[in-house]
Chain A
Amino acid sequence: MAQISITVNGKVRKADVEPRLLLTHFLREQLNLTGTHLGCDTSQCGACTVLIDGRSAKSCTIFAVQADGAAVTTIEGLAKDGQLHALQTAFWEEHGLQCGYCTPGMILSAVDLLQKNPKPSEQQIREGISGNYCRCTGYQHIVNAVQRAARG
């Protein structure tokens, strides 16, 4: 077992974990933060995306021990004081989701994108979410949502 301490959505979480425990399972099963979805479990689909020290990462491809000492943000940590994050509102208003399975990962990738590039072109948005698959929307409404959030 290994001792870890991860700041998840602003709260320090300490735990004894098996080194092989994936960050996704730590978040979902030990912290009950089930907004982080496990899709492909093979590093492809991006449903499991979280922010680690502000950068988007696929939590199915990271052992929880690797995030020891880091700050992790999940979809549950985006809203502040009961106010949805601008991207969450934009996804709502632009119908950026259907089944919602890809949405948490999609939004966290978009957070990373807008941090690096606050005014992305449509092409840059498509590249920015290229590590996230959506099986429902055909992506257009997701792109529209990111554009709306970028307009502010």
Chain B
Amino acid sequence: MISTAFEYQRANSLDEAIKKLQETGGRGKLLAGGHSLVPLMKLRMSEPGILIDIARIPGLAGIREKDGKIEIFAATVHHDVASSALLAEKCPVVAETAGEIGDPQVRNRGTLGGSLAHSDPSADYPAVMLAVDAEIHLKGPKGWRIVKASDFFQDLFTVDLAADEIIGGVQFAAVKSAGYAKLHQRASGYAIVGVAAALDVKGGVITSARLGLTGAGSHATRMTNVEKALAGQPLSAKTIEAAAKIAGEGIKHVNADIHASEEYRRAMIPVFTKRALEKAMARS
């Protein structure tokens, strides 16, 4: 399948990419790993007139620790996140999530920034970014702007990102006691339901919890009712069991498609919430 014709440009810095985006007057789109955009273009569901390749911008890929926080730059491919020794030690849930995306070839090309910007309703990263309470760093013509993950994902394929802005990377405080559990769509690997859970634990008591849910609705969301049910409780299988039971309650719209009915997805939310919490507990 052949996409519509476009002009190809390559940017060598974030500022150059922003300038090029502005010059295209709305006809331009950023291209990173291309593993969401290229399939859409081949199906002619997306027909950008100009593509601005940002995959090779120096310094836009990599993972580091800075001022006690973990920073992942936008063009880092999923494989490099999944195999990061730093993340394995400090914040394994993020590496675990990246390793659950698609298949090896997809993980060799797809990037964090592309996944967040695209915000597929079944994408994995949004759930874990909510659970680690990540800050998303965006650059536009007026400079940098920071958006909390909980404010970033807004609707179906809709995020807080202007047409002339670029995601530079994400920052978050490392949390060890966190886990991701996902029901895979067998062919693509996308999440039918995916839950990321992070627990702050002090002296055997959960002081606070954050849970991100993907696959169920139009976009990834926090499960605040479960978070409240966990806070202040002793960390135990019993606590997890009770809190997981109410996961998904109160969610008005749950997706139904050829992969899973609404009823099935609703039934799976507590199941995968429990599994994610169990993983988090095992790492605490």
Contact = CB atoms under 8 A, between A and B. Distances in A.
Interface of A: 2, 18-20, 22, 41-44, 46, 49, 52, 55-58, 61-63, 65-66, 109, 112-113, 116, 127-128, 130-132
B8 A43 contact: no
Contacts of A130: 103-104, 189
Interface residues of B, number: 30
B34 A61 contact: yes
Given A2-B8, A65-B8, A66-B55, A112 B104 contact: yes
15 contacts: A19-B8, A20-B4, A42-B1, A43-B35, A44-B187, A56-B104, A61-B35, A61-B38, A65-B53, A66-B55, A112-B104, A127-B104, A130-B103, A130-B189, A131-B104
Q: Looking at A41, A58, A109, which has the most chain B CB atoms within 10 Å of its CB?
A: A58
Contacts of B102: 131
B2 to A, nearest CB: 6
A113 B104 contact: yes
Contacts, number: 74
Interface string B78-103: 01000100000000000000000011
Contacts of B7: 19
Interface in B1-28: 1-8
B105 A66 contact: no
Nearest to A54: B108
A19 to B, nearest CB: 4
Contacts of B39: 42-43, 61
B79 A55 contact: yes
B187 to A, nearest CB: 6
Interface string B33-51: 0110011011000000001
A26 to B, nearest CB: 13
Interface of B: 1-8, 31, 34-35, 38-39, 41-42, 51, 53, 55, 79, 83, 102-106, 108-109, 187-189
SS class of chain A's interface: helix, strand, loop or mixed?
A: mixed
A57 B106 CA distance: 7
Contacts of A44: 187-188
B103 A46 contact: yes
A61 B1 CA distance: 10
Q: Looking at B41, B53, B105, B188, which has the most chain A CB atoms within 10 Å of its CB?
A: B105
A19 B5 contact: yes
A19 B104 contact: no
Given A20-B5, A131-B105, 16 more contacts: A2-B8, A19-B7, A19-B8, A19-B51, A20-B6, A41-B1, A44-B188, A49-B105, A58-B105, A63-B8, A112-B108, A113-B104, A116-B83, A128-B104, A130-B104, A131-B104
A109 B105 contact: yes
